Amino acid sequence: MDQLKDRILQEASIMNNEVLKLDGLLNHQVDPELTVDMGKEFARLFAESGITKVITVESSGIPVAFTTALSLGVPLVFARRKKTLIADPDAYTERVPSFTKGIVTDIMVSRQFLQADDTVLFIDDIIANGDAARGLIKIIERSGAKLAGVGIVVEKAFQAGARTIREQGIRVESLVRIASLEDGVIRFES
Ligand code: 5GP
């Protein structure tokens, strides 16, 4: 998405060789029109996949997952980050390390909102090592639902996350792929 590449070049700042600050676009401020266009693009890519539900992880994935769900005409479910250690028998839970925060959090989805007859599209903002995605994929697998694919706004292609998920045979579509952040320059894959 060229429009998104332009906005990343305008809004993003490079924290170090691995981390891009995208507060102006994804993680703090959101551009509604651009987010609608991103949702339409994911909906176009997965139009033939029979999606019954879009799923994401709170919080930064929610705006683009919402516009994708709106374009597909299906509900959005967001996995919640749990703060309690009490096991909930009515929920699927996975422990995931957080790339940016350096801590471990539990994500949970109520069994009520993810069922074996669902075909789900998982949408997220950024993929790095893929821990968050793998956690949610495990939850989807345990529910018996079918995972149609993964839609990522920004894939940091120099980290292993998206590649390892593709190697599992899962379709991963990224709106923008970043090849490198080295030397203070954002380089996109063509
Ligand atoms: P992963 O689990 O794939 O290693 O990391 C995924 C999550 O970490 C993303 O949902 C995002 O919130 C955060 N993250 C990873 N890399 C970056 C980055 O370069 N910039 C920002 N802003 N967030 C990131």
Q: Give the type of residue at 81.
A: R
CB-based pocket (< 6 A), ligand 1:
19-22, 27, 60, 99-100, 124-133, 156, 161
Beta strands in the chain (DSSP E): 13-14, 20-21, 53-57, 76-82, 91-97, 104-110, 119-127, 146-156, 172-180, 187-188
Closest CA to 70 of 2, 121, 141: 121
Angle, vertex CA 25, rays to CA 24 and CA 27, nearest 5:
80
Closest residue CA from atom 19 of ligand 1: 19
- Interface confidence, given as ipTM, is 0.97
CA of 176 to the centre of ligand 1 (A): 14
45 belongs to an annotated ligand binding site? no
Read off the pLDDT of residues 66-123 as tens digits, 9 standing for 90 and up: 999 999 999 999 999 987 666 778 999 999 988 877 889 899 999 999 999 999 999 9
pTM score = 0.96
pLDDT number for residue 113: 97
pLDDT > 80? residue 58: yes
The structural domains of the chain, with segments of one domain joined by +, span 2-188
pLDDT number for residue 190: 74
Q: Is 2-188 CATH 3.40.50.2020?
A: yes
